[in-house]
């Protein structure tokens, strides 16, 4: 029964917790096949790799989201003068002039 559930698992429709559980199941299945000197079916190996990639991607997305949230929080803490200076520096980078246009 567990084998069938693992085989039919749609990685795109499960949570990170379920992906981690699926990874554990994949390792358990591989170990059990090996312990009984039975070749591990290729579909298990492929599913295991797919689950690992999905976990890595989900973690990277989570980190990226947290980084953006921190950046937004830091931006909110800037004074108007700090924001103005930062925008002028960015404008200088974009225009390639090396310095921002002079204006109030």
How would DSSP label each residue in 65-99? HHHHHHHHHHHHHS-HHHHHHHHHHHHHHHHTSSS
pLDDT higher than 70, residue 103: no
Q: Which residues contact 41 (CB under 8 A, 6 or more apart)?
A: 33
Q: Structure tokens of 7? A: 């085989």
> What are the residue boundaries of the structural domains of the chain, listed by start?
2-95
Rounded Cα distance, 33 and 27, in Å: 10
Cα-only R_g, the chain: 25
pLDDT higher than 60, residue 7: yes
pLDDT, residue 82, reads: 92
**Model confidence at 37, in pLDDT bands (50, 70, 90)?**
very high
Q: Structure tokens of 81? A: 């003068």
pLDDT higher than 70, residue 98: no
pLDDT, residue 25, reads: 93
Q: Taking the model in full, what pTM does it have?
A: 0.69
**What is the tens place of the pLDDT at every residue in 42-87?**
999 999 999 999 999 999 999 999 999 999 999 899 899 999 999 9
């Amino acid at each position: 029964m567990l084998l069938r559930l693992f085989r039919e698992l749609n990685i795109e429709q499960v949570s990170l917790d379920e992906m981690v559980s699926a990874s554990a199941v994949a390792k358990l299945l591989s170990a059990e096949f090996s312990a009984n000197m039975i070749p591990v079916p290729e579909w298990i190996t492929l599913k295991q790799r797919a689950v690992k990639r999905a976990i890595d991607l989900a973690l990277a997305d989570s980190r990226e989201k947290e980084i953006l949230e921190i950046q937004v929080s830091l931006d909110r803490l800037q004074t108007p003068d700090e924001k103005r200076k930062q925008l002028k520096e960015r404008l200088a980078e974009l225009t390639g002039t090396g310095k921002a246009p002079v204006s109030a």
